[in-house]
Amino acid sequence: MTTVDSRPADQEPGAPVPAWRSVGDRLRRSETGRIFGALVILCVVFSILSPHAFPTSANLVNIASDAAVLLVLAVGATYVILTAGIDLSVSGVLVFAGVISAKVMAALGGQSVGVLLLGLLAGLVAGLVWGVINGVLVAKARIPALIVTLGTLGASQGVALLITNGVDVRDVPFNLVLSVGSGKVAGVPWLVVIALAVAVAGGIILAQTRFGRYTYAAGSNAEALRRTGVASSRHLIKVYAVAGLLAGLAGYLSLARFATTTLGGHSTDNLSTIAAVVIGGTSLFGGRGTMIGTVIGVFIPTVLQNGFVVLGVQAFWQQVAVGVVLIAAVYLDQMRRAARERP
């Protein structure tokens, strides 16, 4: 029996790579590498076009802060999309959680750390509730995720508007804005530190734990997961719950950053999030993707937006560009998938 070794010759055969993680991982890494390359090229182009405004440390901090809230959402969306699901509700849930959090802090009054933490807790719980609703409807009632989360997008936004009568809550504790919203540690904004911590934790859980493995398996072959005796619908509920929880955190961070609930300012966050995750190499069909890809993916729409602003191009072009890149990314994913189906 001949075993055909299709490994390209340039891959060091004697390298101390553990036998169980070689070519597939390397391919994936190089995929991530390509996205990273695109991001670098984008930055270089903007730097050349605008050498005094784009590549400055102030502007980089700006970009990172812009990306932070989106990154928190994208970590949750990575899990959801890996299960072959989708969560459109995050923009509504973010606003809802921000409103609840602001209302709780306003009701408690004062600027103490305790109040800020209770506000955080309120936001997290508010997000979690919507996430669990999404998860139960998707996993137990078996309604397509697209419809469920489109429904909860409208519902959560509507409830937020009902609570506030459509007027932004502005009495956000000033200490929150000063600390989380615009404070820095060693020159890095707290927002960025928090978002990166979420991404690192999310990435480790995804790659190293059983929770992560079931997430890949659920998107890869949910029936196979169920037949091995795993309660796969319970796992799906947990995944949507995590996405909701992170949308709650994002709502709190947004509150800290803008000092207001920004009721109308997040309507395209869900699309930006999904675009970032998909651009980062996660397959909309589920089962394939990495957290590092998502982190890089988040920066592509953010850098585009920032670059257009810096260049004085109408920022609306960013939406056009992200739309085009998203469609291209999904098309590439489909091609890869089709190529894989006939090895």
Partner 1 sequence: MSEPLLEARGIERSFGQVHALRGADFTVHKGEIVALIGDNGAGKSTLVKILSGADRPDAGQILVDGRPVQVDSPHAARDLGIETVYQDLALAADLDPAANLFLGREIFRPGLLGRLGFLDKRAMGRDTAKEMERLGVRLKDAAAPVAALSGGQRQSVAVARAAMWAQRVIFMDEPTAALGVVQTEQVLELIRRVRDEGIAVVLISHNMPQVLEVADRVEVLRLGARVARFTAADATVEDLVAAMTSGTAEERAA
What are the φ/ψ torsions at residue 185 (nearest 5 degrees)?
Answer: -120, 125
> What's the token pair of residue 124?
């997290």
Choice between 228 and 314, CB closer to partner 1: 228
Which residues, numbered 125-154, are part of the site for partner 1 (CB under 8 A)? none
User: Nearest approach, Cβ of 5 to partner 1 (angstroms)?
Assistant: 7
Q: Which of 134, 309, 287, 105 is nearest to 214 (CA)?
A: 287
User: Nearest approach, Cβ of 249 to partner 1 (angstroms)?
Assistant: 21
Residues 6+ apart with CB under 8 A from 110: 173
Q: Which of 74, 88, 110, 288 is nearest to 195 (CA)?
A: 74
Choice between 13 and 312, CB closer to partner 1: 13
In three-state secondary structure terms, 185 is strand
Q: Are 241 and 63 in contact (CB under 8 A)?
A: no
Note whether 25 binds partner 1 by CB under 8 A.
yes
Which residues, numbered 202-231, are part of the site for partner 1 (CB under 8 A)? 205, 208-211, 213, 216-217, 219-221, 223-225, 227-230
Note whether 20 binds partner 1 by CB under 8 A.
yes
Choice between 257 and 288, CB closer to partner 1: 288
User: Nearest approach, Cβ of 229 to partner 1 (angstroms)?
Assistant: 5
Note whether 10 binds partner 1 by CB under 8 A.
no
User: Nearest approach, Cβ of 319 to partner 1 (angstroms)?
Assistant: 32
| Residue whose pair of structure tokens reads 């920032």 in the numeric block | 306
Residues 6+ apart with CB under 8 A from 17: none
Relative to beta strand 184-185, strand 188-189 is antiparallel
User: What residue type is 34 in one-letter code?
Assistant: R
Applying CB under 8 A, among 103, 235, 266, 288 the residue interacting with partner 1 is: 288
- For Cα atoms 67, 72, 75, give the angle at the middle one, nearest 5 degrees: 115
Note whether 187 binds partner 1 by CB under 8 A.
no
User: Nearest approach, Cβ of 7 to partner 1 (angstroms)?
Assistant: 7
The Cβ of residue 15 has, within 10 Å, a number of other Cβ atoms equal to 7
User: Nearest approach, Cβ of 228 to partner 1 (angstroms)?
Assistant: 3
Q: Which of 220, 282, 232 is nearest to 83 (CA)?
A: 220
Note whether 16 binds partner 1 by CB under 8 A.
no
Applying CB under 8 A, among 1, 58, 186, 338 the residue interacting with partner 1 is: 1
User: Nearest approach, Cβ of 291 to partner 1 (angstroms)?
Assistant: 15
Applying CB under 8 A, among 14, 18, 187, 312 the residue interacting with partner 1 is: 18
How far apart, in whole angstroms, are the C-alpha atoms of residue 197 and residue 246?
A: 12
Choice between 74 and 222, CB closer to partner 1: 222
Note whether 171 binds partner 1 by CB under 8 A.
no
Note whether 29 binds partner 1 by CB under 8 A.
no
Measured torsion, CA atoms of residues 150, 155, 157, 163, in degrees rounded to the nearest 10: -170
Residues at the site binding partner 1, with contacts judged by CB under 8 A: 1, 3-7, 18-25, 205, 208-211, 213, 216-217, 219-221, 223-225, 227-230, 286-288, 340-341, 343
